[in-house]
Structure 1
Amino acid sequence: MSSADQDTISKAPTGLLMSNYFTIKNPTNNSSDSSFRFKSNSAFISNNNKVLVLAHGTSTNSADNTAAGSGWPFPIYPAVTDKTGSYGAAWSNLDTAYFKAGKPQTLSAWLSFGSGESSETVNGQGMALVLQNNQDGSTEMGAGQEGLGVYGYDKTTNKGLSTSLATPEAVAKTAVQNSIALEFDTQKQDSASAIYPPIMYSIDALYSYYSANTFDTKSISVPAPAGFPDDTVLGAAGSYGHIALTYPSDPATYYPLSIDNTSFYNSLDKGYSMFHIHRQQGADLSDSTDAEGNKVAWHHLTFRWMPSADLKTATISYSFNDRDPDGSINNRDNRIDDNITVDMAQLGNITSDSKIYWGFTGANNNINKNVASKLVSVESIPDLVNASIDTTVTDTTKNKVMFDDPDGGTGDTTDRKVASGDKMQLDYKLTYEDGREDWKNIAAKIILPKNITYDTADGNIGTIKYENGKTEPIPASALSTASDGLQTINYTFLQNLGNISATSKIADIIINGTAVNETDADIKVNDQPAIFTGSNNIESTSTPRFTVLYKKDWTLNLTNPMTDPVTLIYQQDDATLNLSTKLNYTGKTSPQFTANDPIHYQISVGNHNLTYNTTVSANSDTLSDVIPLRTVIEKAGLDFWSLFPNNETQKVTISAIDNDGVTSNTTTYNIQVEPNHLLELNADEALQFQSINYLSLKEYIHRANNYDVSVTSYRNPWMLQVSASELTNGDSKFNGVIVNKNASTTTILTNNPAIIASDNKSYDTETTTSISKLNKWTTDSGLLLRNYGLSSSKKYSGTLTWTIMDYDNSL
């Protein structure tokens, strides 16, 4: 291998031990046709056991050469040597790295293709990630060169001035059978390009046998085969590479075209192109250079498989260049994300438990002697350990959470501005989702963002909180500082994560600190990577970027211009709670508030922290706002009236933060919740009447005590009803009834409910009314006992039933 390749391997991102999961064997599925020259496998595992070397250099294995035709004194035809180039395949070991086709799967790896330099031939041909379902898939392989180790041999037979092509079925038969491939093609084989002439692989006394070398020849007039996914086109393009999905063993993938190679072989006028699915022509698969001028040779790939319930189709989603080599998330322009629905029948007969092979194939050209090796470093194995990381940075002073989207989305919409002096919390949440093994021996390498002073007063730089309730301190001794000021935590977890032998599926790493900026300008803090390397799985993430604002020498003042307390009528129809605020500055030059600047209010009510954002409408020295608190509360999914109970006073505290991160004082609003309306009845415990002689013929018997009934109302007109039961003593009944008597009428109350008092007024304060006073009870009026005649001499008793109700015309 070249020194450049060795350097690339030595700088590969951390990968798993390849020998634990991959098998490399010579192919046995080769065609019996002697013109098929791809008999060997150039792949091997690097000496550090971390990299698959699929193809290296331009050398052709001797098994792929042909001998000269015998004849005397000169051979009938010459030997054909050094044409196949280097090509190879590495397949998963079905005991340790199988792929269940009927279950969602994820794998991730780092790919390296070469520098490109002045020509794409320096990093051609390319490689492919392949899924295949064959009885002994470890010995499957296709053709090299444009075949990338996975596609068929496009045998073109030439005799004199005539050219004939192998059938599409014959080409497909020499590919990896029952397969689906995601190709990363670093060199386009187009018949219109003079750089890539046909390649003669064999010759005999009658014929010469070629690859037309035209798999990427484009033709927009040829329709896609029936049953192929949407966005399928013939051929490909793209300088320094393209990405596409293909069906290698489907004859419909290979399409014969008339070609123009008159510059080389006048009679070679036919060749095969290939149908490419979801072709990404903008994929730059060559090495790049980072902001510091360092060579970046490795490209990250995350590949996901989601089968349908009926196992007829599957969705393949992939993200290319989704991470930088240090493990940080990349959401920049050179990232590619795609989702493709594929036909699972391409894998042959599949059940939900089918274990299929997956692996990588690759090939080099033999045009450029400096062609780079095709390299793969795998960091996660399908279904072995499925894990994820959610990373956030929280400004706990402002309750502002900032995060990055690991799947390439837009992430959060937070403004990502924090003030110097704000309390900060870094949170790395590792979640084991499922798998055949626990995530074992996890070693964390966390590079901390700058411009945060981290808390180590207790001797620890952070804490790991496990799902099982246990905590694990990360000692400050795990922290080191580089010459450029970057701080790195290197720490190995004491617990594995999982549900097999491990007792926790989640580990939450929490690191606290304080944002600091002592300069007179805002500081943009770069994202920093974190890599969590287990013996059987590797995951990486990065912190979001944010800005620490420079310290301001002015203050923001918030006042409450409202009358204290603020009255709120409990459950009043269409009730609102609009709180007025007034803001001004001390020590800031005009304009103090600038049009369109955001103002962020932090609100605390009960045990809930809420926010409200507004925008300055025009330049001003003083800013007055109204916070629609009920709307804010209900948008947060909270029940408004549960926060403001009847007949209680609730405190609401508010502070404001301006566009520069300056935080105001906190001001308090006392919200006095008053009843919507009130109606209460109180009656004395006993009504007693005077004693009389049983022979008495007195018509009305007066009350013997000062009996009274009172009604308390608030915003509620009312009516009072009363009824009386008969007066009895055992089986004896009093010969008379209880009545309500006034100057004009007498109303019998015994067994006859009657309204005896009312008030149609609504009072804004609680008002208590005495019925005896309202009705002007005297000795001869009010509740009396009417005597109808003789009764046995006994003590009689009964029951008065009082009922208070809304007035007829009230609410």
Structure 2
Amino acid sequence: MSFNFKTVIAADADLSSKDQETVNAAPTGLLMSNYFTIKDPTNNSSDSSFRFKSNSAFISDNNKVLVLAHGTKTNSADNTGMFDGSVTNATGSYGSAWSNMSTAFFDASKPQTISAWLSFGSGGGSETINGQGLALVLQNNPNGSTQMGAGQQGLGVYGYDKTTKSSLINSSDVAKTAIQNSIALEFDTQHQEIMTDSPYPPIKYSGRETLLTSENYSMNGFDTKNSSVSAPSGFPDKTSLGSGGAFGHIALTYPANPNTYYATNTQYGLTGVPTDTSYPFTKAYSMFHIHRREADLADDTDPNKNPIVWHHLTFKWMPSDDLKTATVSYSYNDKDIDGSINTSSDRTDENITVDMGQLGTITKGSKIYWGFTGANNNLNSEVASKLVSVESIPDLVNTSVKTTLTDKTLNKVMYDDPDSGSSNDGTDRKVAADDELELDYKLTYDSGREDWQDIVAKIKLPKNIKYDTANNSIGTIKYENGDSEPIPSSAVTTDGTELQTINYQFLQNLGDKSAKSKIADIIINGVAVNDTKADIAVENQPAVFTGSNDISSTSTPDFTIMYKKDWKLNLTNKMSDPITLIYQQDNATLNLDTNLDYTGKTSPNFAANDKIHYQISLEGHNFTYDVTVPADSASLSNEIPLRKIIEDAGIDFWSLFPNNETQQVTITASDNDGITSNSATYNVQVEPNHLLQMNADEYLQFQTINYVSLKDYIKRANDYDITVTSYRNPWKLQVSASELTNGDAKFNGVLVNKSSDNTTVLTNNPAVIASDANSYDKETTTSIANLNNWTADTGLLLKNYGLSSSKQYSGTLTWTIMDYNDSL
């Protein structure tokens, strides 16, 4: 493969022995010559006083590392035209490497991610040993591959604060010598402060001792703090003049914005302040830093106090829809050298809203340069080269990897968030010996110009797990399209510490170009092992997925396997069976009483502040409820508020407890030691909220009489009755009757309800003939004939008014059942 740009690959023998060790220890990176170009700068070539005209950067001979600032070496061209030997090599070493626009451009109109490893050298007890630092830079210039700013405090990206003993150039001229149309994230390993008791002196770049006023200096004070100076208009929140950090700081900057550079007072020549008469300067430029964060860049150590040589950086760019602003998110020290997620306090995470106008005009599809610049001071012969190893190229392949560890026995999921470094699973990370465990490494191709190709997995497996190797496989890769492939057991190697490592190349690429799937899950199953008498803390283990065009890594969460316990946890249902629940009753609750005790456990059986975890199963749904033991006790009673738990989960309570059905709820409990109880069952019988029903016999018949009969009342000829069934519902019963007719003929009389006390006409007159004010706790059926003590001479009768034609008459009874006194 060939590329149409210049690269510089130097023999690593040109590096110091310490730098060579650092390069050799670099994490696996992409081939730098495929994606970066290194050229001499041209943007400041016409300024004779600008001393930074070469580029000391090169690519290591293994093609995996960008060497930006090469120890103390400087190009002889930087000294051309100097008349004073004291300024030789004053520029220090500096350099830049820019993305190739054919293979590694940055589309500023789209979300982008850059993942890289940075190395600054160790502090060695003095911040000057490995100053100055490096910067990740975005820039939008036609000749971007030849852009560079000043060295020394300029880090290869900022402007030159040209100063003489009689004048200070204006901020616009400083900004013109910076990389134009740029945004930088600086990692500054030396604090350039001019207001301390021992300020770094100005640096002389050219001139004669006999021409004091024409000598050119840098005031060397870009980090000078002055809290009384307000941030420029339009700069982001948390913008401050200067920065701190004994061994480094991180900040975002606008290198080509004149407002970035602010002339502040110096310590030199001030009344009452010790004055070095050799440097009678009263003003110097400091820089506005955005979201500055102190960080031990060049003097960092791991938890075991070992020097940290390589530091991981994840940089994310999220533009707004209107392309006016973007959110820059970065995580520094977010991964350890083996690729595992770093969750310790030396990690730095920031989110910053930036002005995209600093990059010039950005439209949809704007392709801009990105790259790294770096610089060293010349104060120490041991200064380390500034190094970068890149894992991911913006827009080429954007991927993510997330690992979860699931305790399938306890239904518990554990993971670390790679974006924040926090433990976001919300569990106590404790599993019991013999619990079934599942590791899931989920690889996702998010976007890109190419598929993620030639992926090789290097997975270090957590210890103290007996892995399932049935069918001679250690695990399975499941692709999004339904394909799967076993990972053979032969892919596993074991070292002298019994640590197992999988080395396996995927049979499929991931992506949306030629690849069939964008997602692959590596599933590995096993059983937790602890045969000791103490809990075992299982350390997290890394997994690195190296493709030819992208590298991603992750790690398992750390967790604890508890030792085997020989006692039992007993769960008892304290409630009567079944439990009655009134359907849709106002303010109805379902609180399940439980009791826990142990068999074979010595006092205290339950220790104060321990956690008890309840698992609740119902109708295919699983819920959890946790309580804290209030005090040492032999037994523990808890009330589980099931309705609240269900509704907090966003589920309609009554959908799980329908009317007139019995539902079974199963509960198990587990303690702080992972002991799981027996299952307790609760039968919940759902009864109607209230019930009111009526049933009337179909026909009411009366005796046959002679048409000339003068009887006052005609008796019933059949045993007619009406029944009312009620539940939690007082009622009253109303009836009315139509006239009795046969064709045009009408019966000369009316239907009445007769009792021993009175008689009520019912024909064309609705009337209440029965009622019950009681609310019964069980279904109750009432016979109206019995309730009203109907006899042959009482109840529903016909009142005869006189002679009627000899015919068979009929009519209609209308019964109405109603709530009693609106009691509901």
Checking the alignment, whether the CA contact within 8 Å between 1:67 and 1:80 is kept in structure 2 is: no
Q: Does 1:22 align with 2:36?
A: yes
Q: CA deviation at 1:2?
A: 2.3
Q: CA deviation at 1:129?
A: 0.9
Give the 3 Å change call, closer, same or farther, for CA 201–810 of structure 1 in structure 2.
Answer: closer
Checking the alignment, whether the CA contact within 8 Å between 1:165 and 1:270 is kept in structure 2 is: no
Aligned to 2:441: 428
Structure 1 range deviating more: 356-365 or 502-511: 502-511
Structure 2 CA distance, aligned partners of 1:728 and 1:92? 105
Structure 2 CA distance, aligned partners of 1:265 and 1:758? 113
Structure 2 CA distance, aligned partners of 1:17 and 1:265? 52
Given the alignment, which residue of 347, 361, 369 partners 2:373? 361
Structure 2 CA distance, aligned partners of 1:361 and 1:2? 20
Aligned to 2:594: 581
Give the 3 Å change call, closer, same or farther, for CA 284–648 of structure 1 in structure 2.
Answer: same
Question: What are the Cα deviations for residues 291-325 of structure 1, in whole angstroms up to 9, with x where unaligned?
Answer: 56765311111222334445444332322111111
Aligned to 1:754: 767
Q: Does 1:87 align with 2:94?
A: yes
Structure 1 CA distance, aligned partners of 2:172 and 2:82? 30
Give the 3 Å change call, closer, same or farther, for CA 706–20 of structure 1 in structure 2.
Answer: farther
Q: Does 1:5 align with 2:19?
A: yes
Give the 3 Å change call, closer, same or farther, for CA 694–499 of structure 1 in structure 2.
Answer: farther
Question: What are the Cα deviations for residues 727-779 of structure 1, in whole angstroms up to 9, with x where unaligned?
Answer: 66777776665444444544444444332222222222221122233233344
Structure 1 range deviating more: 471-480 or 23-32: 471-480
Given the alignment, which residue of 181, 186, 206 partners 2:184? 181
Checking the alignment, whether the CA contact within 8 Å between 1:163 and 1:270 is kept in structure 2 is: no
Aligned to 1:304: 316
Aligned to 1:521: 534
Q: Does 1:390 align with 2:402?
A: yes
Question: What are the Cα deviations for residues 423-476 of structure 1, in whole angstroms up to 9, with x where unaligned?
Answer: 222233333444444434433322222222222335443334444444444443
Checking the alignment, whether the CA contact within 8 Å between 2:45 and 2:53 is kept in structure 1 is: no
Give the 3 Å change call, closer, same or farther, for CA 638–224 of structure 1 in structure 2.
Answer: closer
Counting aligned pairs with the same residue, the percent is 70
Opposite residue 386 of structure 2, the aligned amino acid is: K
Checking the alignment, whether the CA contact within 8 Å between 2:314 and 2:331 is kept in structure 1 is: yes
Q: CA deviation at 1:584?
A: 1.9
Structure 1 range deviating more: 640-649 or 318-327: 640-649
Q: Could you list the runs of 5+ residues in structure 1 that have no partner in the other structure?
A: 70-76
Given the alignment, which residue of 128, 131, 135 partners 1:128? 135
Q: Does 1:171 align with 2:171?
A: no
SS of 1:120's partner is coil
**1:390-789 equivalence runs, <5 A:** 390-408=402-420, 410-412=422-424, 413-689=426-702, 702-725=715-738, 738-784=751-797
Aligned to 1:72: none
Q: Does 1:228 align with 2:241?
A: no
SS of 2:217's partner is strand
Q: CA deviation at 1:130?
A: 1.1
Q: CA deviation at 1:183?
A: 0.9
Give the 3 Å change call, closer, same or farther, for CA 807–464 of structure 1 in structure 2.
Answer: farther
Checking the alignment, whether the CA contact within 8 Å between 1:214 and 1:271 is kept in structure 2 is: no
Give the 3 Å change call, closer, same or farther, for CA 797–20 of structure 1 in structure 2.
Answer: farther
Q: Does 1:49 align with 2:53?
A: no
Q: CA deviation at 1:681?
A: 1.8
Opposite residue 364 of structure 1, the aligned amino acid is: N
Structure 2 CA distance, aligned partners of 1:487 and 1:211? 55
SS of 1:172's partner is helix
Given the alignment, which residue of 50, 73, 78 partners 1:36? 50
Structure 1 range deviating more: 366-375 or 722-731: 722-731
Question: What are the Cα deviations for residues 92-150 of structure 1, in whole angstroms up to 9, with x where unaligned?
Answer: 23333333334443322111111222433332221001122222222211112221111
Q: CA deviation at 1:182?
A: 1.2
Given the alignment, which residue of 328, 331, 342 partners 2:343? 331
Given the alignment, which residue of 210, 214, 225 partners 2:217? 210
Structure 1 range deviating more: 282-291 or 102-111: 282-291
Q: CA deviation at 1:173?
A: 1.0
Give the 3 Å change call, closer, same or farther, for CA 594–363 of structure 1 in structure 2.
Answer: same
Give the 3 Å change call, closer, same or farther, for CA 282–769 of structure 1 in structure 2.
Answer: same
Give the 3 Å change call, closer, same or farther, for CA 185–808 of structure 1 in structure 2.
Answer: same
Q: Give the TM-score taking structure 1 as reference length.
A: 0.90
Q: CA deviation at 1:9?
A: 2.1
SS of 2:167's partner is strand
Give the 3 Å change call, closer, same or farther, for CA 267–398 of structure 1 in structure 2.
Answer: closer
Q: Give the TM-score taking structure 2 as reference length.
A: 0.89
**1:112-127 equivalence runs, <5 A:** 112-127=119-134
Q: CA deviation at 1:719?
A: 1.4
Question: What are the Cα deviations for residues 784-805 of structure 1, in whole angstroms up to 9, with x where unaligned?
Answer: 4566677787766554433222
Q: CA deviation at 1:339?
A: 2.8
Structure 1 range deviating more: 14-23 or 52-61: 14-23
Q: Does 1:201 align with 2:205?
A: yes
Checking the alignment, whether the CA contact within 8 Å between 1:235 and 1:273 is kept in structure 2 is: no
Opposite residue 663 of structure 1, the aligned amino acid is: T
Question: What are the Cα deviations for residues 77-98 of structure 1, in whole angstroms up to 9, with x where unaligned?
Answer: 6696433332211222333333
Given the alignment, which residue of 108, 111, 118 partners 2:115? 108
Structure 2 CA distance, aligned partners of 1:552 and 1:406? 35
Checking the alignment, whether the CA contact within 8 Å between 2:268 and 2:276 is kept in structure 1 is: no
Checking the alignment, whether the CA contact within 8 Å between 1:65 and 1:79 is kept in structure 2 is: no
Structure 1 CA distance, aligned partners of 2:458 and 2:699? 83
SS of 1:757's partner is strand
Structure 2 CA distance, aligned partners of 1:796 and 1:535? 101
Q: Does 1:350 align with 2:362?
A: yes
Q: CA deviation at 1:242?
A: 1.7
Opposite residue 592 of structure 1, the aligned amino acid is: N
Aligned to 2:80: 66
SS of 1:164's partner is coil
Opposite residue 524 of structure 1, the aligned amino acid is: A
Checking the alignment, whether the CA contact within 8 Å between 2:121 and 2:386 is kept in structure 1 is: yes
Give the 3 Å change call, closer, same or farther, for CA 737–3 of structure 1 in structure 2.
Answer: farther
**What is the RMSD computed on CA atoms of the aligned residues?**
3.2
Opposite residue 114 of structure 1, the aligned amino acid is: G
Structure 2 CA distance, aligned partners of 1:727 and 1:386? 89
SS of 1:624's partner is strand
Checking the alignment, whether the CA contact within 8 Å between 1:132 and 1:358 is kept in structure 2 is: yes
Structure 2 CA distance, aligned partners of 1:245 and 1:173? 19
Structure 2 CA distance, aligned partners of 1:515 and 1:562? 36
Q: CA deviation at 1:174?
A: 1.0
Checking the alignment, whether the CA contact within 8 Å between 1:155 and 1:210 is kept in structure 2 is: yes
Checking the alignment, whether the CA contact within 8 Å between 2:253 and 2:290 is kept in structure 1 is: no
Instruction: Give the total of aligned pairs.
Output: 800
Give the 3 Å change call, closer, same or farther, for CA 55–679 of structure 1 in structure 2.
Answer: same
Q: Could you list the runs of 5+ residues in structure 2 that have no partner in the other structure?
A: 1-14
Structure 2 CA distance, aligned partners of 1:730 and 1:502? 88
Checking the alignment, whether the CA contact within 8 Å between 2:724 and 2:784 is kept in structure 1 is: yes
Opposite residue 117 of structure 1, the aligned amino acid is: G
Aligned to 1:248: 255
Checking the alignment, whether the CA contact within 8 Å between 1:430 and 1:507 is kept in structure 2 is: yes
Checking the alignment, whether the CA contact within 8 Å between 2:749 and 2:799 is kept in structure 1 is: yes
Structure 2 CA distance, aligned partners of 1:775 and 1:469? 75
